[in-house]
DNA sequence: ACCTTTATGCAACAGTGTTGCAAATATTAA
DNA sequence: TTAATATTTGCAACACTGTTGCATAAAGGT
């Protein structure tokens, strides 16, 4: 990302606000998928809980983050690779979640192969979630 | 499934109870992935809400259902194909969720291709979630 | 039938996600 | 720079999700 967070927001049609800059910077700092709860803990009282939900909504709608399905209590979000807009997301990439530390990361370099599906289904997108042990937690 | 629900429970090391038979029968009737909330609605006051959570836990632990990651508020569960036990689940198959009606179904006949992942990650399982429009909702 | 183990209902609780509204802030137009 | 307007924020209230302790009920083995 060559732009500043403020410019990045502006290019996605969002006003530059303290909350949005905080959330965007946190995603860049952490470089992993984060749930609302994790962000809320990281941000402390710098941003209201409800406002954080609204920041995440606006980010998803404008193509700044995408949702990462999770098998736990709450959904996670991860920064989009860059090509996403409010028109469309292009995040058909693979995610990896560690069974030990619970961290989820995007694997944009892993190609998602096409699978053959029944003709009756009109498939529009695919989400592959790998689970296992990350570099730090491998037994 | 050639066994009765009661036998099926017994073979998975679970006592036959009214709640478990109700939940198992509902999964068989619906043939799709169901969330706790959906089951709770279908069962009405036939089974207490907390007990339903506990039935789902016992089913997951004993290899009767597996969790289907979802990008919405709550997790879904689907019947295992049969080979699963309390030792291990073998549900590395594909799921499909309709963007219109929201129903999720297992696609056991769709082969999940192996993907090449970074050596630093120890991948143990994979979950592919397809999204689009189902037979009934296709535009 | 009795005993032991396990499951259930109920209630209370913590976390997640949504919404209305008034106050604060960002952007645009004087 | 100021004023007008549009958007965002904090706060509070709420509904839903998931967990737990405990007393009672039911299941399975003797
Ligand atoms: Mn991603
Ligand atoms: Mn399945
Ligand atoms: Zn890890
Ligand atoms: Zn549908």
H or E segment at A103? Answer: none
3-state secondary structure of B108: coil
Residue A103 Cα to ligand 2 midpoint, Å, equals: 23
| Contact: A122, B139; criterion CB under 8 Å | yes
Question: Residue A76's pLDDT is what?
Answer: 85
Cα A53 to Cα A33: distance, rounded to the nearest angstrom: 15
Long-range residue pairs from A109-114, CB within 8 A, at least 24 positions apart, any chain: A109/B118, A110/B115, A110/B116, A110/B117, A110/B118, A111/B115, A111/B116, A112/B115, A113/B113, A113/B115
pLDDT per position in chain B (139 positions), as tens? Answer: 578 999 999 989 999 999 999 999 999 999 899 999 999 999 999 999 999 999 999 998 888 888 888 878 778 888 887 777 777 777 778 889 998 888 898 888 888 888 899 999 999 888 888 889 999 998 7
CATH number for the domain harbouring residue A52: 1.10.10.10
Contacts of A38 (CB under 8 A, 6+ apart): none
Interface test mutation site (partner B, options A92, A101, A131, A133, max chain B beta carbons within 10 A): A131
Count up the domains in chain B and report the number.
1
> What pLDDT is attached to residue B1?
57
Whether the CB-CB separation of A106 and A97 falls below 8 Å is answered with no
Q: Do B69 and A71 touch (CB under 8 A)?
A: yes
Q: Is any Cβ of chain B less than 8 angstroms from the Cβ of A101?
A: no
Residue A25: which pLDDT band, with cuts at 50, 70 and 90? very high
**From CA A132, how far away is CA B36, in angstroms rounded?**
26
Full residue range of the structural domain in which residue B124 is found? 5-138
Using CA atoms, how far apart are residues A11 and A101, in angstroms rounded to an integer? Answer: 35
Q: What is the pLDDT of residue A1?
A: 56
Which tokens hold the place of A19? 């909350």
Say yes or no to pLDDT of A18 above 90: yes
A23: Cα within 13 Å, side-chain hemisphere: 32
Point out which residues pair with B84 in neighbouring strands.
none
For chain A, the average pLDDT equals: 88
Q: Nearest CB to B67: which of A71, A123, A133?
A: A71
Shortest distance between the Cα of B134 and any Cα of chain A, in A, equals: 5
Task: With CB atoms and an 8 Å threshold, state whether A132 touches B125.
Answer: yes
Give the pLDDT score at A85. 77
- How far is the alpha carbon of A58 from chain B, nearest alpha carbon, in Å? 17
Give this prediction's pTM: 0.84
A55-112 pLDDT, tens digit each = 999 998 888 888 888 878 778 888 887 777 777 777 778 889 998 888 898 888 888 8
CA angle A5, A7, A11 (to 5 degrees): 115
pLDDT of residue B91: 76
Euclidean distance between CA atoms B124 and B127, whole angstroms: 11
- Name A54's Cβ contacts closer than 8 Å, sequence gap at least 6: none
């Amino acid at each position: 990302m060559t732009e500043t967070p403020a410019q990045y927001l502006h290019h996605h049609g969002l006003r530059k606000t303290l909350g949005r800059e905080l959330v965007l910077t946190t995603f860049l700092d952490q470089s992993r998928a984060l749930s609302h709860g994790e962000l809320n803990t990281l941000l402390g009282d710098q941003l209201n809980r409800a406002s954080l939900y609204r920041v995440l909504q606006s980010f998803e709608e404008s193509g700044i983050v995408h949702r990462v399905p999770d098998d736990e209590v709450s959904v996670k979000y991860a920064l989009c690779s860059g090509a996403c807009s409010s028109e469309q997301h292009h995040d058909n990439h693979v995610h990896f979640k560690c069974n030990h530390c619970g961290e989820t990361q995007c694997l944009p370099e892993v190609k998602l192969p096409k699978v053959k599906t029944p003709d009756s289904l009109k498939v529009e997108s695919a989400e592959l979630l790998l689970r296992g042990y990350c570099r730090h937690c491998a037994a």
